[in-house]
Amino acid sequence: MSKLSVSLKAPNGRQYVQPTGLFINNEFVTAKSNKTITSIDPATETEIATVQAAGSEDVNLAVQAAHKALKDPSWKLLPATDRGILMTRLADLLEKNKELLATIDAWDNGKTYSEALNTDLPEAITTIRYYAGWADKTYGQTINTDHKKFAYTIRHPIGVVAQIIPWNYPLSMATWKLGPALACGNTVVIKAAEQTPLSILILGQLIKEAGFPPGVVNIINGYGAEAGPAMVEHPLVDKVAFTGSTATARQIMKMASATLKNITLETGGKSPLIVFKDADMEQAVKWSHLGIMSNQGQICTATSRILVEDGVYDEFVKKFVETVKDVSKVGDQWEDSTYQGPQVSRQQYDRILQYIDSGKSEGAQVATGGETLQKDGKGFYISPTVFTEVKDSMKIYREEIFGPVVVISKFSSEDEAIRRANDTTYGLGSALFTQNLERAHRVAAEIEAGMVWINSSQDCDPRVPFGGVKMSGIGRELGEAGLEAYSQIKAVHVNMGNKL
Ligand code: NAD
């Protein structure tokens, strides 16, 4: 066992060797910063493992490695089809190791093992497979401009890409960023969130095993305030892709402006879900429960603001509360019967409890929940919480809580529903429930959001673009649109003999 790995036994009995170094040039190395990050099991508040944390010198080494790999024939001249084959191999390796990776994400993040195995891992695997298919299907155009002139376009990679990801879906967020970047031939330095540093290091091992040349993907852990700016401000970084809080996104935008770096940002939301009175009530309740209570409510697209039409409001609230009590079983990550595990960290736990206190003190009614549910005084457990009698001016109605807390409010006309759905600085997800086809599409067109779910919530597919408007972000991930963010077009004008 090297000093850059540690043998671990997870609470589900799974034993494995966890790498702990920074993954630079296909090797695990010690951080020159002398800093480390210790990962905590949010269910027991005990330490899992300590990993190396990059400082600016380490970030520089990772960026230099990516810069060199960009020019190296082993990557630069690799036929696009072979790039796709490497990615397919990576997807196969993720599939082969999915139980291990799901174990690590459940342990590190607090999400249930079944959610990690049945949602996160399939999403990660299909995203890499989907973009593997694109690797040799992105090309330029020929444009006729004159009988003796034409132009053609070439699609180039953007270059060295710095990717900064959050902790709510550790592995699948990594693949959303790596998939299009690699398909387009970029090289990458990717940083995991401090709360979930572990599974991405196994991904590093698999990248090497798949056969990617050294330096194409460099993986670092590091503190946001130190490693983050070192990545964003590095002169050899050509693009920054970020998912996380709006506050950090604003800082990144400012830092990236110094060198006019290409950026894509995916931040949070306060996504509305509208239930019209002609909705299939049972389906509306089930989907809206999933839309806020799955993944401990730690979902950027969580439909956390439910607007229900007069006439069915009381019925909806009653059924929603019953569903929370029946389905949202809170417990440790490993039990099959658990729907909701602990929140990721003490900081998030405290933050959510502050919002619950604020809702209570501003006069909203707690229909269920509103408490902590620790086991023997340990674990970041919060009972799933439903607020009614909510005013649009309240903090819990306006701000992203990022936990299992929902507000339910009443409306009385379609115009009012649209106006209040759009009355937010955010614009990421949105959902509406109705059996009236015309209304469904009319309202979908009016909602200011990057995504609308008609009669569902949280559907996500690598083929479908994902991203926000207003303060929910810039640019799109996933789908063909995701490729736009990772390639740039050069126009070549050809003169076939026009004389001046
Ligand atoms: P954050 O924005 O601080 O962290 C996200 C990532 O950004 C992490 O990798 C972090 O290390 C990095 N980072 C932090 N400061 C940075 C900086 N100055 N420069 C560059 N990178 C930096 O988010 P958080 O503190 O983990 O969570 C706070 C809130 O953010 C949550 O409560 C939630 O509202 C929101 N959030 C949203 C998402 C999402 O998917 N959109 C994910 C996580 C958190």
Centre of ligand 1 from the C-alpha of residue 404, in Å: 18
Residues of the chain predicted below pLDDT 50: none
Are 143 and 278 contained in the same domain? no
Residue whose CA is closest, atom 8 of ligand 1? 193
| 322 and 301 assigned to the same domain | yes
Co-location of 388 and 441 in the same domain: yes
Is residue 468 one of the residues assigned to a domain?
Answer: no
- Compute, in degrees rounded to 10, the torsion defined by CA atoms 160, 105, 169, 383: -150
Q: Is the CB of 196 under 6 A from ligand 1?
A: no
**This prediction's pTM:** 0.97
CATH code at position 429: 3.40.309.10
The answer to whether residue 499 is domain-embedded is no
Nearest CA to ligand 1 atom 27: 245
Q: Do 298 and 410 fall into the same domain?
A: yes
466 occurs within a structural domain: no
Residue having the nearest C-alpha atom to atom 20 of ligand 1: 228
Domain assignment of residue 495, yes or no = no
In angstroms, rounded to a whole number, what is the distance separating the alpha carbons of residues 5 and 7? 7
User: What is the CA(430)–ligand 1 centre distance, in A?
Assistant: 22
Same domain membership, residue 32 and residue 107: yes
Please, are residues 94 and 206 in contact by the beta-carbon 8 Å criterion? yes
Residue 125 lies in a domain: yes
For ligand 1, say whether the CB of 120 is within 6 Å of any of its atoms: no
332 and 480: one domain? no
279 and 421 assigned to the same domain: yes
Structural domain including 14 reads 5-267+475-488
Interacting residues of 13 by C-beta distance below 8 A, sequence separation 6+: none
Are 63 and 56 in contact by the 8 Å Cβ rule? The answer is: no
Looking at the fold, whether 446 and 425 belong to one and the same domain comes out as yes
Give residue-wise pLDDT tens across range 472-491: 999 999 999 999 999 999 99
Give the model's pLDDT for residue 34.
Answer: 97
Distance 397 CA to ligand 1 centre (A): 21
pLDDT of residue 374: 83
Residue 482 Cα to ligand 1 middle (Å): 21
Whether 260 and 278 map to the same domain: the answer is no
Q: Is there a domain that residue 465 lies in?
A: no
Residues 172 and 65 placed together within one structural domain of the fold: yes
**Same-domain pairing of 178 and 288:** no
Give a yes or no: residue 179 inside a domain. yes
pLDDT tens digits for range 316-360: 999 999 999 999 999 999 999 999 999 999 999 999 999 999 999
Mutate to test the pocket of ligand 1, among 243, 245, 299, 304 (most ligand atoms within 8 A of CB): 245
CB of 365 shorter than 6 A to ligand 1 = no
Decide: 467 in ligand 1 pocket, CB within 6 A.
no
CB-ligand 1 contact for 296 (6 Å cutoff): no
Cα 350 to Cα 48, 375, 388, 392, distances in angstroms:
21, 16, 22, 23
- Mind telling me the catalytic residues? 266
**C-beta 232 within 6 A of ligand 1:** yes
- If one counts the domains in the chain, the total is 2
In a domain, 209, yes or no: yes
Q: Are residues 73 and 222 in the same domain?
A: yes
Which residue out of 108, 111, 120, 164 has the highest number of ligand 1 atoms within 8 Å of its CB and is therefore the one to mutate? 164
Distance 39 CA to ligand 1 centre (A): 16
Distance CA(499)–CA(359), nearest Å, equals: 74
Q: What is the CATH number of the domain that holds 191?
A: 3.40.605.10
